[in-house]
Amino acid sequence: DVKVTQSSRYLVKRTGEKVFLECVQDMDHENMFWYRQDPGLGLRLIYFSYDVKMKEKGDIPEGYSVSREKKERFSLILESASTSQTSMYLCASSLSHTIYFGEGSWLTVV
């Protein structure tokens, strides 16, 4: 089975803090993604990466950055967290035509 692991399930951070969300996949997938999911807005793509050190902006990259130093790991960084970034964050990876998701990370910014 494909395994996409998000290191933190629930986080509470203060406004202005730097936040790291880590994701690891064990299937040697080329593509990795970060989405956020909000009620009524569905899944929105923040960034994706198609190879080590390669990244592309998604639909809502503002306020976020990413890092992919190793093929299996894709990190989402909130440089200065804001309350508007309170959300569920989903990491995913893909090979061929199918995307597989992690369990999600619930981030609350207070």
Residues in contact with other proteins by the rule CB under 8 A: 4, 30-31, 42-43, 45, 48, 50-51, 54, 56-58, 88, 90, 92, 94-104, 106
Alpha carbon distance 31, 97 (integer Å)? 11
Nearer to other proteins, 11 or 45 (CB): 45
Nearer to other proteins, 45 or 77 (CB): 45
**3-state SS class at 9:** coil
How far apart are CB 52 and other proteins at their closest, in Å?
13
Nearer to other proteins, 15 or 66 (CB): 66
Q: For residue 109, give the nearest of 46, 8, 47, 17 by alpha carbon.
A: 17
Alpha carbon distance 92, 23 (integer Å)? 8
